[in-house]
Amino acid sequence: MKNFTYTRAVSPKDAIQKSVADPDALFIGGGTNLVDRLKAFLDQPSQLIDISRLQMQSIEKLPNGALRVGALVSNTALADHPEVKRNYPMLSRSILAGASQQIRNVATVGGNILQRTRCSYYYDTAFACNKRQPGSGCPAATGINRMHAILGASDQCVAVNPSDMCVALAAIDAVVEVEGTRGKRQIPFVNFHRLPDNTPQQDSNLQPGELITAVILPPLPVAKSGVYLKLRDRTSYSFALVSVAAAIEVTGDKIKDVRLAMGGVAHKPWRAMDAEKYLVGKSADIDSFTQAANIALQGAKPLAHNGFKIEMTKRAIRRALMVSAQGGGIV
Ligand code: SF4
């Protein structure tokens, strides 16, 4: 770990000013991913700006029925919140599917959104990596790529976003609230993360100096029957091979509303809007769900070792939609 200076911000504005004054500084909240990266020399900031004591630790109900979740709310507090469990069960379950209880107690919502890929080449500085050092190469593209992307990858980077929580946030139309020198702005969650294209070093559309202050969960009746299905090599403390957040509302025997997003398949949480459009008005049966899964994976391009993810994702979609159509619960 390279030496750095440590400062503690007293307000969001103070944090932003400190960050703008030192472009090589990084914010630290829970630090559950950042400290690992510091120890591995992946990040070498001149300064850490501690934001962990800022007043961004509450969950409040807004007049329109939305929930505003402060960026420093712990993953545990969000997963256990009664409104979240009742109205956004797939969000609660996605969080509980990730990491360990100890990590969830410390990890923050903002930090979860900004965690970086777990591509093993990225974490090993003996290898080149375009995300770590732009222009150096992507050994994963031709190397061991079982965990890597099948959608939206580029020849510069085939990494996947590792977050479970973000898959649910993409599905429920969450909005990220950020603050910078030009004031506050809101970014729809589906537009927050980026595909790698030619700039895999940039994971998100956050601008320099901007700070995530909150995440807004809109009122969304369909989300009440939402489910989260995570498929992985072992049943705890493991990143997803693929995951699915799905919510479906059925009136009579027809689908009235639906949300569908996938994790472990792309550089960002992957919302399957074409599949959603197809499903509205269809019968809630296995044929419709099979066709929706085919649509969701239409553009998939497997690498040498991850072709299995295509069929695995299709099956996960069918199962998640079926369970949600039956009222939700544990998948
Ligand atoms: Fe680096 Fe991305 Fe390639 Fe992994 S997939 S080695 S993170 S450039």
DSSP notation for 137-188: --HHHHS--TTS-SSS-BTTB------SHHHHHHHTT-EEEEEETTEEEEEE
User: Which residue puts its alpha carbon closest to atom 2 of ligand 1?
Assistant: 157
The pLDDT mean for the chain works out to 97
Q: Is the pLDDT of residue 129 over 90?
A: yes
Residues β-bridged to residue 70: 214
Summarize the confidence of residues 155-176 as an average pLDDT: 98
pLDDT score recorded for residue 238: 94
Burial class of residue 237 (count of CB atoms within 10 Å of its CB; 0-12, 13-18, 19+): exposed
Of all atoms in ligand 1, which is nearest to the CA of residue 139? 6
pLDDT score recorded for residue 253: 86
Residue count (the chain)? 331
Q: Is the pLDDT of residue 242 over 90?
A: yes
Choosing from 120, 121, 197 the residue with most ligand 1 atoms within 8 A of its CB, the one to mutate for a pocket test is: 121
Residue 129 CB–ligand 1 contact under 6 Å:
yes
Choosing from 158, 198, 268 the residue with most ligand 1 atoms within 8 A of its CB, the one to mutate for a pocket test is: 158
- Tens of pLDDT, residue by residue over 210-236, are 999 999 999 999 999 999 999 999 988
pLDDT score recorded for residue 310: 98
Summarize the confidence of residues 67-91 as an average pLDDT: 98
pLDDT score recorded for residue 312: 98
Ligand 1 centre distance from Cα of residue 117 (Å)? 8
pLDDT score recorded for residue 166: 98
Q: Is the pLDDT of residue 311 over 90?
A: yes
pLDDT score recorded for residue 330: 83
Query: What percent of the chain lies above the pLDDT cut of 90?
Result: 97
Q: What is the dihedral of CA 74, 100, 91, 48, to 10 degrees?
A: 40
Residue 178 CB–ligand 1 contact under 6 Å:
no
**Two tokens at 275?**
């599949």
Summarize the confidence of residues 180-205 as an average pLDDT: 98
Summarize the confidence of residues 144-170 as an average pLDDT: 98
Q: How far is CA 32 from the centre of its chain?
A: 15
Confidence category of residue 324, pLDDT binned at 50, 70, 90 = very high
Per the listing, tokens 């777990």 go with 118
Cβ(275)–Cβ(292) under 8 Å? yes
Query: What percent of the chain lies above the pLDDT cut of 70?
Result: 100
Of all atoms in ligand 1, which is nearest to the CA of residue 148? 5
Summarize the confidence of residues 84-89 as an average pLDDT: 98
pLDDT score recorded for residue 1: 82
Confidence category of residue 140, pLDDT binned at 50, 70, 90 = very high
Q: Is the pLDDT of residue 331 over 90?
A: no
pLDDT score recorded for residue 137: 98
